[in-house]
Amino acid sequence: VAVSALAIDAIRAAWAGVSGRLGAYGLLLPGSASFVCQAELCQAHCCRSFSVSLGDGEVARMAATGRQPITFLETEKGEPISLPLAQPYLLARRHGQCALLGRDLRCTAYEGRPDACRRYPHEVVFAGEGGLVRLEPAEQRAALEATVAGRAGSPLALLLGHRECPGFTGPALTLDGWAARLRETLELQLAGH
Ligand code: SF4
């Protein structure tokens, strides 16, 4: 991976054009602190703040770790609630937090955890000269590879980190680490859609 200084400048410029609309996030570049979950610092903030929706594949993955879906999904009259959405199910919540959050602030279903939990606190957005752009999955992958390769032209893939998460304390992201995180985050975003 070789992202030129020019490409980094282009990413910064694209972010400057859209950051006002994405105030909950910061831009992550090669050299930014990487993410290492620090659940004890925030009392597992993310597991308390967010309702998590799941698709069929994610439910099957969690069920494969030996749990019955009615034990980890929100239910109504003993049946999982199913909404008319791409990700129809809701991860169960109890007492204002994820029902699977352990007393030790660790996830009790870590192996099978939903895609949203795997992705957090990262997000990928695409920005062109006119601001944020909506792209088809194949176009998103192509734009990401063009960004990583430092090829000119818009739109660019921007790797973002959620500001409320105190976990951005790890070693500086290398070029390869940044590119890998971009790809992994995008694939988790595209899964189930
Ligand atoms: S991911 Fe961030 S917000 Fe969630 S528990 Fe870890 S440090 Fe806290």
**DSSP single-letter state for residue 174:** P
CA-proximal residue: ligand 1, atom 6 (nearest): 37
Rounded average pLDDT over 101-115? 95
Residue 62 near residue 92 (C-beta atoms within 8 A): no
The whole-number pLDDT of residue 192 equals 67
**Beta strand residue intervals within the chain, DSSP E:** 25-28, 53-54, 75-76, 79-80, 89-90, 93-94, 97-98, 122-128, 131-132, 156-162
- Given a cut of 90, whether residue 183 has pLDDT beyond it is yes
Distance CA 161, CA 28 (A): 6
Quick check: CB of 37 below 6 Å from ligand 1?
yes
Please say if the pLDDT value at position 148 is more than 60.
Answer: yes
174/86 Cα distance (integer angstroms): 35
pLDDT at residue 6 is higher than 90: no
Count of CA atoms in the C-beta half-sphere (13 A) of 183 = 12
Ligand 1 pocket residue status of 165, Cβ below 6 Å: yes
Statement: residue 40 has pLDDT above 80: yes
The confidence score (pLDDT) of residue 151 equals: 85
Mean pLDDT across 59-79: 95
Report whether residue 39 contacts ligand 1, using a CB cutoff of 6 Å: yes
Query: Distances in Å between the alpha carbon of 159 and those of 20, 41, 89, 107, 142?
Result: 16, 24, 27, 25, 15
What pLDDT sits at residue 4? Answer: 76
Instruction: Using the predicted structure, report yes or no on whether residue 123 has a pLDDT greater than 60.
Output: yes
Query: Of 6-15, 120-129, 132-141, 168-177, where does mean pLDDT reach its minimum?
Result: 6-15
Give the confidence band of 154 by pLDDT, cuts at 50, 70, 90.
confident
Contacts of 7 (CB under 8 A, 6+ apart): 147, 150, 151, 152
Among 4-13, 36-45, 74-83, where is mean pLDDT lowest? Answer: 4-13
Residues 122, 159: contact at Cβ < 8 Å? yes
Q: How far apart are CA 22 and CA 156, in angstroms?
A: 16
168 Cβ closer than 6 Å to some ligand 1 atom: no
Task: Check pLDDT > 80 for residue 24.
Answer: yes
